[in-house]
Amino acid sequence: MNQLLLVAPVLLPIAGGILMLMIPEKEARVHPIFTELIVLASSAMIWAVLFTGREQGNGAVLFSMAGNLKVFFRMDGMGAVFSGLVSVLWPLATLYAFEYMEGDRRGREFFAFYTMTYGVTLGIALSGNLVTLYLFYELLTLVTFPLVLHDRTKEAIRASRKYLYYSIGGAAFAFIGLVFVLIYGSTADFTLGGVLNKGVPGFDTNVILFMYVLAFFGFGVKAALFPVHSWLPSVSVAPTPVTALLHAVAVVKSGAFAILRLTYFSYGADFLKGTWAHYVVLGAVLVTIVYGSTMAVKEVHFKRRLAYSTISNLSYVLLGAVMMSAAGMAAALSHLVFHAFMKICSFFCAGAVMHQAGRNYVYELDGIGKKMPVTLACFTIAGLSLTGIPLFAGFISKWNIAQAAVGLGGIPGFLAAGVLLYSALMTGIYMMTVVVRAYFPKEGYDETALDGVKEPGWRMLTPIVIFAAVILFFGLYSRPLFHFLQQTAGGSGI
C-alpha cells in the first residue's frame, strides 16, 4: 500500500495530463475541474504519506534498468520537505491559474502540461537515487517547455528556445557527474554524508572534485547560477502562473534541490569541505547573489525584476548549501521553503496587477495600492520578508544562513555575510521602491488613469492571502519546522 502511495502521486498527474489532451478543446469548463481534482488527489496522497509513516516505507522501485540503475522512490526528510512544499503550493497555484487563464485560447494545453509538471516535480522530490532524480530532471525540462512557449509570440519562442538550450546543456554536465557517482560510489541511493568509495581503483580526488564542479554548474542551470542564469529573466514572458510556480518555485527549486542532493547525499559534505571545489562553487554563488540583487535594482520591468530577485535568492539557498555543514543545509532548506512562499506570493501579486490593471513596469505602478489594497498589502508582506525584516519568514532563514556563514569562519565566511548584507540592502531598495510607489504616489500623478481598476476575484485573491498569512506565521513561529529541518540535516556528521 505504502509503495503504491509513493508511486501514484508521481504517475497520476502525468497520466492525467496526457488524458486531458484527449478532452475536446470545446469543453473549456471541464479542464480546470479535472486539473484541480488530479492535483488535489496527488497532494492528498503526499500528505497521507507525510502524516502516516514516512519512516516505515523502504521506498518503491518503479522498474530497474541494468543492475544498479533503477527508478526508485523514497521519502526521506529532504524529500518530505520538498514534496510537502510543492503539494501545498500546487493546488493553490492551480486555483489562481483558473482565473488568470480564463478565456485563453490554449487553455487545455496549458492545464495539461501544468498538471504533468506537478507529477514530474514530485518525482524529483521523491526520487531515491541520483538516476531517478536525473530522469525526472530531464523530464521537467520537456514538460515545462510547452508552458514557456505558450503565448507563441516571437519573444516566447526565443525564450523557450533559450530555456531548452540551457537546460539540456546543463543536464549534460549533470550527467557526467552522475556517471562518476555511479562508478566511484558504493551505491547510487541517496545517503546522508555521501556515497563515494575511495577504495574503487582509479579514484582520483581532483578528478572527482572537478566532476562535482561540473555537476554543480550543470544542476546550477536550473538554479540560475551566475554564468548560466540568463534564461530565467527571459522566460518571464510566460503566463504568470507559470512564471510564478515554475520559475520561482518548481524549476529553480528543483535545481537547488538537486544540488543539495548532489552535495550532501552523493559526494558528501565532508569530502568537499575545504577543497578547491568548495571555494569555486562558493565564489560562483556569491557572485550570483551580488549580480541578481544588483540587476533587480536596475530592472524596471516588474516581473523581470522579480526574476532577478529569484536569481539572487536562489543563491541564498545555494549559499547555505555550500557551507558544507549541517547548519548550512538546514538553513538552505529553510530558505528553500520560505522563499517559495515569498516569491510565489510576490509573483502572484505582480500577476494580479498585470491582469487587473495591465501595468507591466514599475514606474507605472503609482497609486495602485489605493485601488488594490489587499493585493499590495500582501506584496508588502512578501517584500519585507524578502528583505529580511523580523516578524516575517525571510528574516528567519536569512538569519540561519548568515549564522551558518559566520560559522564557516575565516575570510570566506565573513565575505559571505558581507554579501548577504549588501544583497539585503539591494533587496530593500528594489522591493520597497515598488511598495512606496504603490502607496505614496508622486505628487501630481493621474488619479483617473486607474479608474475601474479593482481587486481580482476570489480565486486569485485566496492564494495570495494564504501565502501572505503563511509568511507571517512562519515569521512568528517556525520552531517545529526548523527543528525538523535540523533533524533532516543532522546526520551529516559535521
In the complex, which residues of this chain contact another protein (CB under 8 A)?
A: 226-227, 230, 287, 290-291, 294-295, 297-298, 384, 387-391, 395-396, 399-400, 402-403, 406-407, 417-418, 421-422, 424-426, 428-429, 432, 436, 440-443, 475-479, 482
Instruction: Considering the complex, state which of residue 70 and residue 398 has its C-beta at the smaller distance from another protein.
Output: 398
Closer Cβ to another protein, 271 or 316, answer by number: 316
Q: Which residues contact 159 (CB under 8 A, 6 or more apart)?
A: 148, 231, 234, 235, 237, 238
Minimal distance, residue 459 CB to another protein, in Å = 27
Considering the complex, what minimum distance in angstroms separates the CB of residue 325 from another protein? 13
How long, in residues, is the chain? 494
Q: Which is nearer to another protein, 257 or 291 (CB)?
A: 291
Q: Which is nearer to another protein, 346 or 387 (CB)?
A: 387
Give the whole-angstrom CA distance, residue 178 versus residue 472: 39
Q: Which is nearer to another protein, 120 or 306 (CB)?
A: 306
Phi–psi pair at 59, nearest 5 degrees: 100, 165
Cα angle vertex 111, ends 105, 116, to 5°? Answer: 145
Q: Between 62 and 429, name the residue whose CB sits nearer to another protein.
A: 429
Cell of 427: 533587496
Nearer to another protein, 207 or 476 (CB): 476
Nine-digit cell string for 22: 484527449
Nearest distance, CB of residue 72 and another protein, angstroms: 36
Q: How far is the CB of 432 from another protein (least distance, A)?
A: 7
Cβ of residue 232: shortest distance to another protein, in angstroms?
A: 13
Residue number, 176 or 297, with CB nearest to another protein: 297
Q: What is the smallest separation between the CB atom of 253 and another protein, expressed in angstroms?
A: 22
What's 405's DSSP letter?
A: H
Name the minimum Å distance from CB 446 to another protein. Answer: 15
Distance CA 73, CA 88 (A): 20
* Residue whose C-alpha cell reads 516575517 in the numeric block: 392
What single-letter DSSP state applies at residue 72? E
- Contact between 110 and 239 under an 8 Å Cβ cutoff? The reply is yes
**Distance of closest approach, residue 403 Cβ to another protein, in angstroms:** 6
Match 503504491 to its residue by C-alpha cell: 4
User: Using the 8-state DSSP alphabet, how is residue 358 labeled?
Assistant: -
Residue closer to another protein by CB (options 33, 391) is 391
Rounded (10°) CA dihedral 168, 351, 87, 462: 180
Dihedral angle sign, alpha carbons of residues 255, 404, 230, 424: positive
3-state SS assignment for residue 277: helix
What is the DSSP annotation of 1-64? -HHHHHHHHHHHHHHHHHHHTTS-TT-TTHHHHHHHHHHHHHHHHHHHHHHH-TTT---EEEEE
Question: Least separation, in Å, of the C-beta of 220 and another protein?
Answer: 14
d(CA 484, CA 390): 21
